[in-house]
Amino acid sequence: MSDDTDQLRFGDEGELEEATEEEPATDNLKDDGSPMGRFESKGGYNIFDLSSYLQKCVRRSDHEGAGFAAWELCRSGFHGMYWRRILTIAIEDVAVSDSVASTILDLHRLATGQVDAVDGWESTESRGRICAMRAAVACAQATSGRLTEYMNDSFKRIAEERVVAAEEGRNPTHNFPAGDLEPGGKHDVVLDSHTASGSSRGRDYGYFLVHASRTDHLSESESRYKRMNLELVEAEDDNAHSFSEEEINHALTPVESEEPWDEPDLSQETLDSE
């Protein structure tokens, strides 16, 4: 038996038979026997309030409440609404560092009959509801966070503020983190050999190795192979590059967490070919 719903029971003629999955409710009645309202669950909850409860449970890591909201919405016939909401929640309310989006999509496929596993996985039946509850609990147990949602809203408003500021002839109160991406600016290092601006300034593969390829972490193996790369580039026939010890050390040093865009001017003729 796979779970508690797969049990033997006596049939109408007294014979033992395996129990089937429960049929979806078709009576549209609440638990107390009274008719369900248009936007009402079988437990008597307003489904929009219940959906909001689900989202707040995830934000507050209340996995029991989230599981109940999933169960109540699905058993009441609002599984479509539930899956739309939980997929949104998985993107909007779970921290990027603890993403569960792929898990939720897999559970959604199971619970909506998109995976040919076994019978009875639809959201109106027990296994389907368990998938829905598992999705809700996974979201609630993950680290909650709305960073990308706040960023999305902020960038939209910044775009509008920049237009207004330009029309009024003033500097915007807030700006995009990229600024204007101008040479000599805060993000000057992005203008490397992969950009027209960088190429026109003689920034070639040597510049890329010393400056533009730096990361905030460098494993022992990465450091070893990057040093090897520097040595091999320097030994090439055209001898276009001759890296100083200072440049090699800089290339093998992770960027500073406090000032990740700071890059010293280590240019020399071999790195800035004419």
Residue ending a domain, among 83, 114, 141, is 141
Per-residue pLDDT of 212-227, as tens digits, reads 999 999 999 999 999 9
> Does pLDDT of 21 surpass 60?
no
Per-residue pLDDT of 54-112, as tens digits, reads 999 999 999 999 999 999 999 999 999 999 999 999 999 999 988 899 999 999 988 88
Tokens of 129: 């509801």
Any domain includes 157? no
Do 124 and 188 lie in a common domain? no
Do 196 and 118 lie in a common domain? no
Quote the pTM value.
0.73
Distances (CA, A) of 130 to 72, 93, 103, 111, 125: 11, 21, 14, 8, 9
pLDDT for position 270: 41
Per-residue pLDDT of 201-213, as tens digits, reads 989 989 999 999 9
| Radius of gyration of the chain, Cα coordinates, nearest whole angstrom | 30
Do 217 and 127 lie in a common domain? no
What's the rounded Cα separation, in Å, for the pair 103 and 124?
20
What's the rounded Cα separation, in Å, for the pair 264 and 249?
12
Any domain includes 153? no
pLDDT for position 37: 93
Any domain includes 243? yes
Residue ending a domain, among 87, 120, 141, is 141
> Does pLDDT of 186 surpass 50?
yes
Any domain includes 152? no
- N residues, the chain: 274
The residue behind tokens 């290339």 is 251
pLDDT for position 82: 96
Domain extent at residue 273: 180-274
Any domain includes 72? yes
